[in-house]
Amino acid sequence: MMKKCKALNGGGIYSTISTMEQFIINEEVYFEECEAFSTSLQQGRGGAIYINVGQDAPYEFTVGVNLHFNLNKASQYGRDLFIYCKNIIVMKPDRRILYDMLNETYDKVNAIFGTEYALETELGRPQMIDFDILSLMLPYYNDIIYISQDQSISENTYKCGRIYLPCVTLSYAEGKVITPEWNADTVPLDRTGAQQINYTYIIFQGIEVTLPFETEVDNVVIRGAFPDEYLFATQRGILIFTQSGQIICSDLSQWQQQGQLDQRSINQNFYIHHLEFVLTEDSEIKSIIKIIGSSSHNNYGRNVELKIEDIIIYQESSLYNITCGFLVAEPIITQLVRISIVDVIAEDIYMIDTALIDLQYEPDVIQLDNILSNQHSKVANQIQKFLLLKKD
């Protein structure tokens, strides 16, 4: 038992881990009324334990399951534990800190903190200084979700979705939102002053999409990350669609498509921004984005606004022709849908039996200019370019 111990940093234990050394506390150990006090701003951290992980040291330390903390104090940060290391995310705190800090009786305020000594230029993201490490270990739900296929910084777990720990896949990220999407029972009957549900999915570096994406919320944003979020986000996020991966927009809600036509739906806005789309041969679908139009049910349908901006489209390899387009309406596009294409570049795409953009519509019902606007977009060197098909 460590009781009523005091120090400037690490009231109970101060451990420095050098090259190839390890630090393990695995037995029944009690830290009671230990304190880290301060005479300067650099002190007062780690009331019970302070761990200093050296530049060349592996993250070989374990704060085990049988530790008990009671009434410890830190005048600055980390009442029970403070970790000073190069990269907190790479350290993987949940694999190093094993005691039951998620117990509802455990005081989570100022409990586990840490600081990184690697600079932002090396980390590629904001440096964590006197950071609440426990926040990375708690379940995370939010309507703004970060995603990256770089599994050195991301994982599909109950903790993912935050900027410091993205999810790996879009399908997993869909389950991380905090506000439930609308359904037939919850959709407001009167939209005047009603709540709007907004989902934002932010792609860092790139992801592979293998499953359909369709949601029932008012506003959906799928965009690439920017340098103010990740220092290394100097290029657009990359989306590769394989298998049945597809973004689906419809002028009928999912419950209306299932037969509940008299149950109203909500208008939708989709904003797809600052991304690169890669066309591959490993795709089971006809297009990356599918618009479902239901002309026979216009009295029940909803307005859909789709804006596609700052996008580059290219094919994965020039060795084969592409059979998957970018944007297709099935069976037709209706007057309820508006599409804006702004600053889209598609070059050197060779397609067979399809078109990059294929919008079938009824010319006697709607005018194409009323449903599609195209600004500053370039398509070059294609066998089939922006092909717009009229329904006979």
* One domain for residues 239 and 223: yes
Question: For residue 78, is it within any domain?
Answer: yes
Judge if 184 and 216 occupy the same domain. yes
387 domain-assigned: no
Whether 32 and 98 share a structural domain:
yes
Enclosing domain of residue 54: 2-137
259: Cβ contacts below 8 Å, ≥ 6 apart: none
Counted domains in the chain: 2
Domain boundary among 102, 121, 137: 137
What does the alpha-carbon distance between residue 125 and residue 336 come to, in Å, rounded to a whole number? 41
- Assigned domain for 70 exists: yes
244: amino acid identity, one letter? S
Give the confidence band of 128 by pLDDT, cuts at 50, 70, 90. Answer: very high
Question: Does any domain span residue 392?
Answer: no
Residue with tokens 């500053």: 376
Contact partners, residue 135, CB within 8 Å, separation at least 6: none
What does the pLDDT average to over 108-124?
94
Asked if the structure places residue 95 within a domain, the reply is yes
Q: Are residues 128 and 200 part of one domain?
A: no
341 C-beta neighbours (distance < 10 Å), count: 20
Percent of the chain with pLDDT over 90: 57
The pLDDT-based confidence of 27 (bands split at 50, 70, 90) is confident
Q: Are 35 and 5 in contact (CB under 8 A)?
A: yes
Q: How many CB atoms lie within 10 A of CB 177?
A: 21
- Least confident piece of the model among 48-62, 103-117, 290-304, 305-319: 290-304
Across 94-119, average pLDDT: 92
Strands laid side by side in the 112-116 sheet: 13-17, 49-53, 81-85, 112-116, 131-132
Of the given ranges (3-12, 49-58, 205-214), which has the lowest mean pLDDT? 49-58
Same domain, 253 and 342: yes
Q: Could you give the CA distance from residue 218 to residue 267 in angstroms, rounded to a whole number?
A: 6
